[in-house]
Chain A
Amino acid sequence: MAKSGTFSNLHEWLISEEFTSSRQARLHNIYLAWLSLLANPLAFAGFAVVLLLVIVAALAPVIAIHDPFTQDFAIALQAPSAGHWFGTDEFGRDVFSRLIYGARTTLYITILVTVIVAPIGFVIGATSGYLGGWVDVVLMRITDIFLSFPSLVLALAFSAALGPGIENAVIAIALTVWPPIARLARAETLTFRHADFVIAAELQGAGVGRILLRHIVPLCAPSIIVRLTLNMSSIILTAAGLGFLGLGAQPPMAEWGAMAASGRQYLLDAWWLTTVPGIAILTVSLAFNLLGDGLRDIMDPRNG
């Protein structure tokens, strides 16, 4: 190992179990997770792609070589070339630049859905599992109703009812994603519900909120994070599907699904219009899946 002195000192400090502060203890755990991510090539590849997505989205104005919205019919439907790496679309917009800006849309949708879904799913599932009784019955029946529809059909129905638009697409997708999360949170909560440490906290006067947030969350979080990461690909695909059907992002906004859809008419003449966003959707979905699988091994408490 060709590490410089300070680095190997840092490594030693992070690896040592003789903690001298709670910050060290936390960093130790993060560092260990990082090491095991490094040791898992597929998961690391997934992580790298996701990281790339984030960087690209953040730096979109810098990376994009053309303005994604400027139309120029003179150069419509040009094949990939040095000036337009991925060619141009039917309005003469640069596909590469639109792809880069599309990363923002994709990231926006996945993050927003996650931020909405994780707390809702957790609160409903964990409350249901922790309190039991009629609360459990009512909440789980509601969850079942949502679960009983195929998620794409449900998302379609909601976004058709709410009207087109990216925010509405996010809400529609969120409505289909939370029920499995709630189910999972409930199942996890049930296994910890009667654990001695939960009872110890109850006997010291901890209320329901404290127990759910302080005791159940840290135990459920790994599997919920894993599940959400694995869900990312279906969120992206659903968003793309809605975009494809004209229900998600509205023109001229760049969105991979919508890009693929509009390119469909020119499939034979301009293959790059559907292929390039298609590959992007595929790659990012796959990356999230690989990352999720890896995280399952790293974070699941039952694995160590």
Chain B
Amino acid sequence: MANTSDTILTVENMSVEFPTLSGVTTAVRDVSFTVGREKIGIIGESGSGKSTTGRAIMRLQPPQAIVKANRMQFEDIDLMAASEEEMRSIRGRRIAMILQDPKYSLNPVMTVGEQISETVILHERATPQEARSRTLAMLERVNIRDPQRVFDLYPHEVSGGMGQRIMISMMLIAQPSLIIADEPTSALDVTVRQQVLSILDDLVVERNIGLIFISHDLNLVRSFCDRVIIMYAGRVVETIAAADLDQAQHPYTRGLLNALPSLDHPKDRLEVLRRDPAWLEN
């Protein structure tokens, strides 16, 4: 497992609270984990706090959110103490985030080519001409077949998979040391997903960086990640080596595994998760 020098991110007892009119919602409660130069998966059902965890690391949560932690250390930076200005220089450059839905992250009234070029110009201070050729190269790098055509498309004209790869190409331009990918492949078919994951896999190995991979696809996390954090109602219920996921003991993890339709063990009706209040203790 990751030794200290390899640790990129340490999070100790992080909680995220949202004050609302009807009381305080605790979206994340006392979560601790470390990320080394590895692929670490976060799984859990919708609303379990996966994205909130990712956003809290980036300090991207809405202003009313309250983040508490004993420690949040990213390389040489104390994320709890960093100023907003420091965070801005970290975001996108040193920690990159790929968001759940590319369609909402892309500007609907600008072509995708223009948007990538903008990133190139911002990060590499390139001229518009250079930016265009860099952009086409980036699109090719993420296996988009016809970059010239895609360059001039608007976000609603690209398929879900293309949108996601466009987001990844924007991220590749800045060379981050930690990538937080929030369900980057949920809109993709298996072949493209394979490609996208290979791109991420290569990145982690080549540049020796860390990846937090948020997903609700158990099969994927099991086969792609090194370690898995399982979240339920804002808590970490279990952290387990990905290869051992099938031997997971926690009934919640087992419930998620059983809800999956499977080619190898077809069943007529799928099992639905039965939540146990006891999971909320500890």
User: Is there a contact between chains A and B in the complex with CB atoms less than 8 Å apart?
Assistant: yes
Complex Cα spacing A304 to B22, Å: 16
Complex Cα spacing A275 to B109, Å: 47
- Answer whether residue A225 sits at the interface, using C-beta atoms and an 8 A cutoff: no
Complex Cα spacing A304 to B61, Å: 12
- Answer whether residue A187 sits at the interface, using C-beta atoms and an 8 A cutoff: yes
A residues in contact with B22, CB < 8 Å: 15-17
Instruction: Tell whether, in the assembled complex, residue B21 and residue A194 are in contact, meaning their CB atoms are under 8 Å apart.
Output: no
With A15-B21, A15-B22, A32-B21: A187-B109 Cβ-Cβ less than 8 Å = yes
Q: Which of A15, A191, A304 contacts B108 (CB 8 A)?
A: A191
Tally inter-chain residue pairs, CB-CB below 8 A. 14
Q: In chain B, residues 124-179, which have Cβ atoms closer than 8 Å to a Cβ of chain A?
A: 156
- Answer whether residue A190 sits at the interface, using C-beta atoms and an 8 A cutoff: yes
Size of B's binding interface in residues, CB under 8 A? 6
Q: Which of A32, A35, A187, A194 contacts B156 (CB 8 A)?
A: A194
Q: Which of B21, B62, B108, B109 contacts A35 (CB 8 A)?
A: B21
* Residue of B21, B22, B62, B109 with most chain A CB atoms under a 10 A cut-off: B21
Q: In chain A, residues 39-75, which have Cβ atoms closer than 8 Å to a Cβ of chain B?
A: none
Complex Cα spacing A191 to B106, Å: 11
Interface residues of chain B: helix, strand, loop or mixed (majority): loop
B residues in contact with A191, CB < 8 Å: 108-109
Complex Cα spacing A146 to B22, Å: 49
B residues in contact with A194, CB < 8 Å: 108, 156
Instruction: Tell whether, in the assembled complex, residue B109 and residue A190 are in contact, meaning their CB atoms are under 8 Å apart.
Output: yes
Complex Cα spacing A35 to B22, Å: 13
Q: In chain B, residues 17-43, which have Cβ atoms closer than 8 Å to a Cβ of chain A?
A: 21-22
Complex Cα spacing A194 to B108, Å: 9
Q: Shortest distance in angstroms between B112's beta carbon and chain A's nearest beta carbon?
A: 14
Instruction: Tell whether, in the assembled complex, residue A190 and residue B21 are in contact, meaning their CB atoms are under 8 Å apart.
Output: no
Q: Shortest distance in angstroms between A237's beta carbon and chain B's nearest beta carbon?
A: 32
Q: Shortest distance in angstroms between A125's beta carbon and chain B's nearest beta carbon?
A: 14
A residues in contact with B109, CB < 8 Å: 187, 190-191
Complex Cα spacing A194 to B21, Å: 34
Q: In chain B, residues 45-72, which have Cβ atoms closer than 8 Å to a Cβ of chain A?
A: 62
A sample of 14 inter-chain contacts (CB < 8 A) reads A15-B21, A15-B22, A16-B22, A17-B22, A32-B21, A35-B21, A187-B109, A190-B108, A190-B109, A191-B108, A191-B109, A194-B108, A194-B156, A304-B62
- Sorted from nearest, which 4 A-B pairs have the closest CB atoms? A194-B156, A191-B108, A15-B21, A190-B109
For the A-B complex with A190-B108, A190-B109 known, give 12 more contacts whose Cβ atoms are closer than 8 Å.
Answer: A15-B21, A15-B22, A16-B22, A17-B22, A32-B21, A35-B21, A187-B109, A191-B108, A191-B109, A194-B108, A194-B156, A304-B62
